[in-house]
Structure 1
Amino acid sequence: MSKQRTKFVELVLLLIIFTCVVGYGEAQSKSFLVDCGSNTSTKADGRIWVGDSSPNSSLSLISSGLDAATSSTPSQSSSSVFAEIYKSARVFTTTLNYSFHEIPQGSYFVRLHFSPFSMGDHNVNDSSFSVYANGLRLMLDINVQGEIAHKNLILLSSGHNATASSLVKEFLLPIGPEKLVLSFIPEKESFGFVNAIEIVSVDDKLFKDSVTKVGGSEVELGLGGRGVETMYRLNVGGPKLGPSQDLNLYRTWETDSSYMVIENAGEHVDNSSSISYASHNDSPVAPLLVYETARTMSSDTEVLEKRFNMSWKFEVDPNFDYLVRLHFCELVVDKQNQRIFRVYINNQTAAGNFDIYARAGGKNKAIYQDYYDPVSSKNDVLWIQLGPDTSAGASGTDALLSGLEIFKLSKNGNLAHLVRFDSSGHSVDNSRMRIIWISFSAGVATLVLLAFLVTMVVCLCKMRSRNKSDDDDSKNNPPGWRPLFLHVNNSTTNAGGGGSLRLNTLAASTMGRKFTLVEIRAATKNFDDGLAIGVGGFGKVYRGELEDGTVIAIKRATPHSQQGLAEFETEIVMLSRLRHRHLVSLIGFCDEHNEMILVYEYMANGTLRSHLFGSNLPPLSWKQRLEACIGSARGLHYLHTGSERGIIHRDVKTTNILLDENFVAKMSDFGLSKAGPSMDHTHVSTAVKGSFGYLDPEYFRRQQLTEKSDVYSFGVVLFEAVCARAVINPTLPKDQINLAEWALSWQKQRSLESIIDRNLRGNYSPESLEKYGEIAEKCLADEGKNRPMMGEVLWHLEYVLQLHEAWLRKQNGENSFSSSQALEEAPESSLQACCSNQDSSEAEKSQTGSTLHNIV
């Protein structure tokens, strides 16, 4: 009998323990699912949603203006997993409070569902309301229909179907032992509605309080006392995942394609076998389905040049802090150092030398990384970019991402940012709209008056043109074309091509000789296409010969197109003020009969590129290539240092390095040039422009232009000169397509001689090639601060040339000095080359410095 009692007691104890454990588990995972406007329970997404009018001790509603609306027709959200609960809504015209009782202390996802439908006398387009949670402001004066339309506008702008018909706002809230009160407050003389409320318990392991700040150290977020809004949650490279596919927290993971700057910049990869979490603590972070798909950098030829070409762009609210969570799982490579990349957030390096395999401890291991990013008050866009870390020495230049989440952190008890969207999805400023409507009537009258005046002017011009006798040249120039030189004011000249140019007599005189159109036509045989030696967005370049036998190059702007005119203007400004032996000289201009023509010195041997590959011209020797690089480096050094702010060329490449009859190299084409930063700035913020293959990766990431951007491009030129191949060649194997990356990988192995032009084999000094490769490698450093100045590059190239000349003398049996002697003599020679201006007097230098100071 005693044994039976003992067994009975043990069973009771086990039952008690089991009940406690189950009760604790239920408390931890407790959720509240409310079908607003309904008095029954409804099943949706596999869960039971309780009507807010049903008897419920855990929920109470307080409002004097409650209505329950029911959809009588199928809504646009009928295909949604929430279709059943979207058939009803709670409508309110005064403050509505949902009070939730018996909620265990902890963190919870609070999701508010809105799906507009016809609500009787209430027009959903006019709805506007705010939402608070225990005093924390979640939403301010929101118009649901406008928010949905704005989301569809984003989808359409990215080339996707506009499918959104509902809005779900998700917040992570810390809830104490007291009740949770959700307050819905309509704007004056307006109303609000809500279809469903979802409250889901969150595991404490979901967020860590200490995270890495972008570009800095670890910071404490203090999430225990802050609210969080989920801005974006994306399954990168994979399909949309619904709540039923995320059983832990019932989250929705959207596709990422509509947020990619270039969608085909990332290729889809997947692997559904043997995916597991690197740490058991990570299981609540994301479902394994997220890690089974990913995007890797594309091999598409259209985006090959964009070395950090996986970019996502997100609209965010300014003046808030953001937590960015990135999910990774290596699905392809099976050992370390095979895929190393960098992570950039808002154009700052968030992580370098990122090796998923090494961090996760193997293939098919899921990990995540959090980054804290404070967004400035003026920044309403958040960029996330992934690109290769070429400095890390990985065998492949690639990146991979599986998932992405962006969370907004509350500030001073607020998560809301007031942005109003109209029914078409465009933002609306109420005060601005009132001003527009007030001034509309006066504007109409003004437009009518202006239209009348314009009509009168046009009629007078036509009458005048009929009475005017034009010569035969006017047939080639359409009416309305105005010469550039009639619109120039020297005081407002803009080197960036953005301002209107107004040349006065003094400025015109700096442009050299003024040619007549008759002289230009005679020199080019009436612009014979057989004399065309180049073409650009502005028009054609012709070879011409003056009566005295002088050969010239003539750039003629096309009157029929505005393309390239900004660059044409910049070219005028630059060349009318720059004088240097290694810059192409401007001889004069012609502005007759609506023409825009510039006349340059003729460079008999064409471009440096034409002597490297792609033509039947004899190959250049190693010495000639070095001299061409030195000459162009001198020209760039002069641009960078010839004035207080300096000039950044911005389009350094072998087709813009021209060779005269003596193979003296000169820089040309200054259409993209910009004045350097002022003394109190480190860079010039400007849109990215340049040529694929030569573009500075740091400039591309940050849109911040510096002199080091020219240095990077020149480093590509150095490798192009020695390898004699195109900088981008899609027909080659993947690792050889980009010359800069390919040559740099060989140079880091100190095996550059393995890939040099075969015409150079045996005809160069090995020591000179070694030093040459080292300076080219330094020019291609991923960060500008690690690259040399152009003056240093010039110094080293001069040294390389002297090493080669010493080697030539030794080969010819002549007395030669050693490399150490070459090094001793190099500085003096280089210094003279850097500082001399063989084509300008001291007065000209002074004038150049003062005029360049005014270029902005």
Structure 2
Amino acid sequence: MMKVLGREVVGLLVLVMVSVFVTIGEAQPSQAKSVLVNCGSNSSVNVDGRRWVGDLAPNNNLTLSTPGIAASTATFGGDSASAPLYKSARMFTDSLNYTFGATQGNYFLRFHFFPFSFENYDVNKSSFDVEANGLKLVSKFNVPGEILHKNSYLARSGSNSSSLTFIKEYFLNVESGSLVIEFIPSKGSFGFVNAIEIVPVTDKLFVDQVNKVGGNGANTYLNLNKRGIETVYRLNVGGPEIEPDKDLDLWRTWEGDSSYMFTADAGEKIINSSNITYASSNDTSVAPLLVYETARIMSNTEVLDKRFNMSWKFEVDPDFDYLIRLHFCELVYDKANQRVFRIFINNRSAADNFDVFARAGGMNKAYHQDYFDVVSTKISTLWIQLGPEAGGSGSGTDALLNGLEVFKLSRNGNLAYVEKYGENSGGNGTSQRLILWVGIGAGVASVVIIAALLTLIFRFCKKRRNKQRDSKNNTPGWWPLFLHGAVVNSTANAKRSGGNQISYGSVASTRVGRRFTFAEIKAATNNFNDSLVIGVGGFGKVYKGEIDNDTLAAIKRANPQSEQGLAEFETEIEMLSKLRHRHLVSMIGFCDEQNEMILVYEYMANGTLRSHLFGSDVPPLSWKQRLEVCIGSARGLHYLHTGAERGIIHRDVKTTNILLDENFVAKMADFGLSKTGPALEHTHVSTAVKGSFGYLDPEYFRRQQLTEKSDVYSFGVVLFEVVCARAVINPSLPKDQINLAEWAMRWQQQRSLQTIIDPHLDGKYCPESLMIFGEIAEKCLADEGKNRPTMGEVLWHLESVLQVHEAWMHANAATRNSFSSSQVVENVEEREAECGQHSATLDEESNVDLKMKEGKEGALMGTDGSDGVVGVDEFSQLVNPQGR
């Protein structure tokens, strides 16, 4: 009897246990699924293999507070695969709530926008707020304005892409059983949304303990569960854009990074298809492995001085906290201490002695590192910079980055920033006057303090230079790239040669490139055959030659019997031994046998810019090609001016010294007249006037005081020459037209530059781009150097000109398609043109972000470290040496 009873008790216990487990299993929430909403529709659409349910469709797991207005359009100008999602929208003139059933946890929340006109609703005038569970996401939000703001920034960064679709992404924690998204139109306005995407995140994407920038390794606690996060930027560094369907289950988009780099040439792309794994099993959702298969490394690491970097620049909202996530994966080195570098964020140290291999635990290990930074109310840019560790123990002066994300963190339940839309924060007259007087008082005090600081800094720098002059090693630091090659010593050479002529063996000590034998040079030039001469100067001739049987080169041979031009010849050797950049003609090698001095340059297949403008039978350049040539030349000059501590002044900028390779990439040539810029305590270099008539800076001519602004003036003449396609000095023309600079300036000041434009361009250019281009050239030709822009500013605006022209071309192409019927496109294009016009006003933007801040470890102009040899077709100053 007892045994039977025992069996029944045991059976009952088992039954109870099974019942408990079943109950627990049923009580546990099932894994949350993505909620994809096609707004403004009662039907579903398939996009990228996912089904988006209409917001009025039955059983769609959401509730609408009011129906709002269902809007639709028949056309969409973007990617055809995404077209179904953007052809409908939910518009609202009153508050509209979307309520979703959601389990507790973390979610990516994305809003999709495509502005199109519907009935009497002008999307360009829409303005609304958005909140999610009480967290304010945007305020006074205008979608077309946001699109133009982003595209305008990408234009300044060098991007050629433009899109009318826009996605806002947020990461938030849902603590209740529902997610309420509220759309609130501004008074007298309306709002709209095309699609809403809610993607659950089951893995831990963020941690609360994060390294603080400038905190010397200290961590800060972020309490992210109580804060909202907005994704501001997400980049696949060194690789192409990664589409959402390639990013696991989180459907994130990873942009390419080149448009955000201060100088894309500073970073070389690498790729490794090896088996990459995550350094930690908890990181599988942090980023897809595709991000870690590509990277950027330093373009030119073979330098003696570790003072250059890769820089990315971003526009951000001021007065917010930011989380910066950097993704790393060592793809090359198989042991530690081979690539050690520094990380700077907004000019402050984030990490020193950063070794990816050591931190990730091996090669091909995906690893990420987070940093926390606070952006002040006066800053709207975020700089992220990587460069070699000066004085570090790594064997290579290199850095690496695979991916980059920037997240904005909420403050007091707010992620919205309104000031960029021009909203006045208010305040009465009394408070404004108080602020004014406080500002005046602070300004006076600041002047006194700054004057005292400048005095101390000047004395400190002078003392430091004196110490460096007596020291063998420079103080470690992070400064612009300056390749310290060996410099030809004129004094030593003069002593060895008895003071009569330069010793032709002086270049041997520089080891610049390859050392050719004289027999190789004779074979390359067919024993210096005159039929191969492409330039002649006082020092000798330049030949078109062929080295190694298939490589074309320009070979410059100095005449030992002539003293004329040898000083310039030596200067060019000195300069080219220090410089290397994609937009500067580089030297392949030299020959110093049998008392000869011969230099071998890369060959430029398309000759000089002048030959493509006038005076030859080659086809004329299009307006886009001319803009790209001007931008390339400006980059080369900007590198000269900023790449060294004192900079280098070219002193002979003209269209015959701008050479074009086989791809029409522009490169500056002829550094025979170049001078090192003024020392810190000086504003100019006092020197005899040299240069080419018609391009010569009048201030330099009057005062014999050379500055970087002398190059800017000459470049302004080049800009007018590009537009007008005529010689800068033409005595055969009427008196008022002989000098191109004076003639073009008169037309430009009348805002009628199109009257004298090259006839080949007639009807093939954007009028707005020409207007901005003319204003840039006009500023360059200011009579006083202080009123001229820097080359960095000129470059910035030229890139904007190109973007305006490309937008115009895109608009013309769109006009030929069905998309042209949409009123919003016309309005957006008008805003693009207006944006381009405003961006060209140099008076209001003389302190653009491209200008590096003095005395700070800032964004640097890197070099293109390409090893590909191209070459020089003509050395124009040799063809016409009378220009000097």
**Normalising to structure 1: TM-score of the pair?**
0.50
Whose relative contact order is higher, 1 or 2, with alpha carbons under 8 Å and at least 6 apart? 2
**Structure of greater Rg:** 1
**Normalising to structure 2: TM-score of the pair?**
0.48
